[in-house]
Amino acid sequence: MDGFWNLVSPFGFIYVGGFVRLLIAKIVLVLLGGTMISMALITMFSPEVDNKFLPPINMLDLDTASELALSTMIRTYAGFWLGCGYLTIRFVYSSSKVQIGSVLLYIFGCMILGRCSSLFYEGYNIHSIISLILGIMLYIALYFIHQYRKNQLDYNL
């Protein structure tokens, strides 16, 4: 794990104990989970879906049926982000050792894979790069806490 920490921290030569690393990962998860919840709520409950969280989507040139279908998909996707943000914050404070973390790792791993494929096919812009970096940060923080809790499991039942 310490070799992996060198990739995350520019000061990887300084030993960071398990408690500090765990605290940093928990802070990152709570901040990113709160951000996901707030982005989802603003997208779900704003009158129009064109907001600052979804810059690549332009609803001005669409007809009414396409706009309705696209806005329905966007609000549904925002609901998915709301659920993932809630699960992320719940994972930080739950007594469950592994279950929620495993689900979140699979969800966000697949989302990062989808983001990488969209970078390959559609190209990149600042929104796609920032969302990819935040997704990777979230995945790494989830992985650290997941491994910490997995090591606490007692297999001698």
- State the pLDDT at residue 19: 78
Residues of the chain with pLDDT under 70: 1-17, 49-73, 76, 96-98, 121-122, 153-157
Q: Find all residues with CB under 8 Å of 44, minimum gap 6, and list them.
A: 75, 78, 79, 82
17-62 pLDDT per residue, tens: 677 888 888 999 999 999 988 988 887 787 776 666 655 566 556 6
First to last CA, the chain: 27
Kindly give the residue spans of alpha helices, DSSP state H, lying in 54-125: 64-93, 99-122
Question: Could you tell me the CA-to-CA distances from 131 to 1, 100, 124, 152, 155 in Å, in that order?
Answer: 25, 22, 11, 32, 38
Count other C-beta atoms under 10 Å from residue 2's C-beta. Answer: 9
Q: Find all residues with CB under 8 Å of 135, minimum gap 6, and list them.
A: 108, 111, 112, 115
For residues 49 and 74, the answer to whether their CB atoms sit within 8 Å is: yes
